[in-house]
C-alpha cells in the first residue's frame, strides 16, 4: 500500500488541524443490519482515517479497504495469526507438481457465499480468470502481484481445482493468502454487478455487508450461515474520522472501540484517557518516489542530489518521535532478503546544493495525500512539508499539491508530478512483495514509473529461486541496484499502532496491517 509527507527540518511542528468528525454521531447499537434491539456490546466500532476506496478485492490496493475486506471475504489460504506462514482456508489441502508449475487444491465443501450460492471449483476459476488476460482490466492493481505467473485454471471436479503457472513462483502460496486480489467473490454478484462489487461485496467470510455511507461509515453484520465458527460480536461498524485527535477523543469518550492512524502526538492522550495502546513492529516502508519519466528526474544525478539534501535520520526522529525507525533499505529488517550493507544516498547539504545547480533543478512539483496512512501516521502533507523545508535550504523551491486519498490515487495514476509520496505494507512476508513494486507496469503501484530490463530480469530469477540464502542474496543485490540509482528515497518503517478501549479483547491486528474482528468481545 502507499504513503504521504510533512514538516520542517531540525524542529518539527506538528500542526494538527481540528477537523470535524467525518462520521457524525456514533452509530446506534440497535439493528445496524437486522431488526430487533441490540445491546451496546453487540456492536463493535472501529474508526479509521479515510473511506475505503472500494470493497472489491480485485479493484483496490489500500489498507482502509483491506481492513474491511478481510472480515467479509476469504481466500483459498490464510496466514497464521502471528505470522505470514500459510494455512488452509477455503482450500483444505494442496499438492505441488515436481516441476513446481502446477498447484492442485482440494476445496472445502458445504461453503456458501453470502448470497446463498455455492463456493466450488467453478467459483475459483471465475475469480482467477477475471484477473488474467484477456479479461484483466487496468484497475486491477494487484492482479499481476498475485496471478502474474498463472497460465490457466483447470476445474478437475466440483471441489478440486488446478492452477498452472508459466514459471516457478516461490511466493505463489503466500500470494494466495493475501487480502487483495486473492479473496473469493461470489460469481453471481460479480455477474450482476458487471464485474464489480465495489459497493456491494459478497464473500464467504464471518461478516456480511449491510451499507456504506460515504464519509461516515461502513456497516457489517454477522454471517449466521458462516461455515466456520460464528463471529462473537453481532455488528461491526467501520467509522470514518479523518483527524487523529478527533479519533482519540471518540475513543476515550467510548464513541468508538478501536482506532488506527495514530501518531506520536496522541499516544499519551490515549493512555491518559483510559484507553490502551497496541504496539508492534510494522511490516511496511514509507518512501518518497521520483517520477523517472519527467525531464527533471530522468537524470539519476538530479535524483541523487535531491536525496542528498534530505536529512532522513533527523526527519524520522522529529516527525515520528520513536514510533518509526529510519529505513536503510526498502525491506523491513525481519523480512527475508534484508541486507544491512545496502547504502542509500547519504545526507550532504553542500554536495546537494552543488549537484542540484549542476543538474539545473530549481523548482519541483510534489503531490501528496492529506490523511494518515499505516506507514505514515503523521500524514503525507506533514512529510511533504518537511522535505520542502530541506530543499529550500539548498535553493530549490517546491510546489506541493495535497489531495484526499481517493483523489490522490487518481493523481498518481495521471503522472503529473516530479515527486510523490507513498508507502507499502507487506502483504505476505515475501521480499518479492516489496521489490516487485519497482518492476510493476502499473503506475499506481510503481509510482517512480521506472522500467529497467536488468532489474526485471533480476526479479524474475529471484522469484523462481527456492527460499534460502541464495534467494535472499538476490534480493539484497536488487536493493543495492535500486539504491545506486536513487529511484526511491526510503524514509521509515512505522510501528503498527492502534488504540482500543479496555473492555475490548479478541481482535487480531496482523503483521500485514489487517484487523480481523470475528473473535472480538466487548465486556
Q: Where are the domains of the chain?
A: 40-56+198-281+497-522, 77-190, 284-495
If we measure between CA atoms, which residue out of 446, 433, 198 comes closest to residue 332? 433
Which spans in 193-324 are helix H?
Answer: 244-252, 267-272, 300-308, 312-320
pLDDT at 39: 58
Query: What CA–CA distance (Å, rounded) separates 43 from 32?
Result: 8
Reduce the DSSP state of residue 252 to 3 states and report it. helix
Helix or strand holding residue 103 (H, E): strand 102-107
pLDDT < 70 regions, the chain: 1-40
Query: What CA–CA distance (Å, rounded) separates 403 from 452?
Result: 30
Instruction: Please give the CATH topology (third level) of the domain spanning 77-190.
Output: Dipeptide-binding Protein; domain 1 (3.90.76)
Query: What CA–CA distance (Å, rounded) separates 100 from 25?
Result: 54
Query: What CA–CA distance (Å, rounded) separates 173 from 428?
Result: 9
User: What is the residue-wise DSSP string for 317-359?
Assistant: HHHHTTSEEE-SSSS-TTSTT--TT--PPPP-HHHHHHHHHHH
Query: What CA–CA distance (Å, rounded) separates 464 from 473?
Result: 14
Answer for the pair 170, 467: CB distance below 8 angstroms, yes or no: yes
CA-CA-CA-CA torsion sign (149, 155, 158, 160): negative
Reduce the DSSP state of residue 454 to 3 states and report it. helix
CA dihedral (253, 258, 259, 264) in degrees, to 10, reads: 80
Q: What is the pTM of this model?
A: 0.83
Answer for the pair 331, 337: CB distance below 8 angstroms, yes or no: yes
Q: Which CATH superfamily is domain 40-56+198-281+497-522 in?
A: Periplasmic binding protein-like II (3.40.190.10)
- Please write down the HEC assignment for all residues of 17-71: CCCCCCCCCCCCCCCCCCCCCCCHHHEEEEEECCCCCCCCCCCCCCHHHHHHHHH
Answer for the pair 184, 78: CB distance below 8 angstroms, yes or no: no
CATH 3.10.105.10 fits 284-495, yes or no: yes
Query: What CA–CA distance (Å, rounded) separates 269 from 288?
Result: 30
pLDDT at 377: 83
Backbone angles phi, psi at 488, to 5 degrees: -120, 160
Q: Are strands 397-403 and 363-369 parallel, antiparallel or unpaired?
A: parallel
Per-residue model confidence as pLDDT tens digits over 81-115: 999 999 999 999 999 999 999 999 999 999 999 99
Query: What CA–CA distance (Å, rounded) separates 186 from 57?
Result: 12
Answer for the pair 257, 504: CB distance below 8 angstroms, yes or no: yes
242 Rama class: left (phi>0) / alpha (psi -120 to 50) / beta: alpha
pLDDT at 40: 66
If we measure between CA atoms, which residue out of 437, 440, 443 comes closest to residue 420? 443
pLDDT at 262: 87
Q: Which residues contact 209 (CB under 8 A, 6 or more apart)?
A: 55, 72, 114, 200, 201, 202, 218, 219, 220
Amino acid at each position: 500500500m502507499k504513503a504521504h509527507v510533512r514538516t520542517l527540518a531540525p524542529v518539527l511542528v506538528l500542526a494538527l488541524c481540528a477537523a470535524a468528525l467525518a462520521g457524525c454521531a456514533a452509530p446506534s447499537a440497535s439493528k445496524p443490519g437486522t431488526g430487533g434491539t441490540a445491546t451496546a456490546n453487540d456492536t463493535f466500532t472501529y474508526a479509521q482515517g479515510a473511506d475505503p476506496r472500494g470493497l472489491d478485492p480485485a479493484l483496490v490496493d489500500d489498507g482502509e479497504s483491506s481492513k474491511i475486506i478481510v472480515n467479509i471475504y476469504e481466500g483459498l489460504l490464510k496466514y497464521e495469526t502471528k505470522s505470514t506462514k500459510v494455512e488452509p482456508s477455503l482450500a483444505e489441502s494442496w499438492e505441488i507438481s515436481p516441476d513446481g508449475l502446477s498447484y492442485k487444491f482440494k476445496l472445502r465443501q458445504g461453503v456458501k457465499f453470502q448470497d446463498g450460492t455455492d463456493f466450488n471449483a467453478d467459483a475459483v476459476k471465475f475469480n482467477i480468470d477475471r484477473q488474467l488476460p484477456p479479461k484483466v482490466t487496468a484497475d486491477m492493481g494487484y492482479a499481476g502481484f498475485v496471478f502474474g505467473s498463472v497460465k490457466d485454471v483447470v476445474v478437475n471436479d466440483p471441489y478440486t481445482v488446478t492452477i498452472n503457472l508459466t514459471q516457478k513462483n516461490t511466493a505463489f502460496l503466500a500470494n494466495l493468502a493475501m487480502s487483495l486480489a486473492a479473496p473469493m467473490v461470489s460469481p453471481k454478484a460479480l455477474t450482476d454487478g458487471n464485474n464489480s462489487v465495489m459497493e456491494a461485496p459478497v464473500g464467504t467470510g464471518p461478516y456480511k455487508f449491510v451499507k456504506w455511507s460515504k464519509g461516515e461509515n461502513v456497516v457489517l453484520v454477522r454471517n449466521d450461515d458462516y461455515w466456520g465458527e460464528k463471529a462473537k460480536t453481532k455488528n461491526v461498524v467501520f467509522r470514518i474520522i479523518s483527524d487523529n485527535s478527533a479519533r482519540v477523543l471518540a475513543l476515550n469518550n467510548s464513541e468508538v472501540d478501536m482506532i488506527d492512524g495514530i501518531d506520536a502526538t496522541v499516544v499519551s492522550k490515549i493512555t491518559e484517557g483510559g484507553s490502551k495502546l497496541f504496539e508492534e513492529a510494522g511490516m511496511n516502508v514509507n518512501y518518497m518516489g521520483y517520477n523517472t519519466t519527467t525531464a527533471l528526474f530522468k537524470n539519476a544525478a538530479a535524483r541523487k542530489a535531491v536525496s542528498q539534501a534530505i536529512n532522513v535520520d533527523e526527519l524520522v526522529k522529529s516527525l515520528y518521535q520513536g514510533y518509526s525507525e529510519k529505513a536503510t533499505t526498502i525491506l523491513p529488517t525481519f523480512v527475508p532478503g534484508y541486507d544491512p550493507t545496502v547504502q542509500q544516498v547519504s545526507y550532504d547539504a553542500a554536495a546537494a546544493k552543488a549537484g542540484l545547480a549542476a543538474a539545473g533543478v530549481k523548482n519541483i512539483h510534489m503531490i501528496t495525500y492529506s490523511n494518515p496512512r499505516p506507514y505514515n501516521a503523521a500524514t503525507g502533507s506533514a512529510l511533504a512539508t518537511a522535505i520542502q523545508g530541506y530543499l529550500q535550504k539548498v535553493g530549490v523551491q517546491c510546489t506541493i499539491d495535497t489531495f484526499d486519498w481517493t483523489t490522490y490515487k487518481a493523481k498518481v495514476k495521471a503522472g503529473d508530478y516530479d515527486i510523490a509520496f507513498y508507502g507499502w505494507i507487506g502483504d505476505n512476508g515475501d521480499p518479492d512483495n516489496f521489490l516487485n513494486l519497482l518492476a510493476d507496469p502499473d503506475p499506481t503501484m510503481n509510482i517512480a514509473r521506472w522500467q529497467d530490463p536488468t532489474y526485471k530480469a533480476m526479479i524474475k530469477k529471484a522469484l523462481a529461486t527456492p527460499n534460502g540464502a541464495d534467494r535472499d542474496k538476490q534480493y539484497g543485490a536488487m536493493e543495492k541496484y535500486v539504491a545506486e540509482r536513487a529511484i526511491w528515497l526510503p524514509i521509515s518503517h512505522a510501528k503498527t499502532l492502534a488504540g482500543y478501549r479496555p473492555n475490548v479483547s479478541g481482535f487480531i491486528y496482523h503483521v500485514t496491517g489487517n484487523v480481523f474482528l470475528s473473535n472480538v468481545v466487548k465486556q
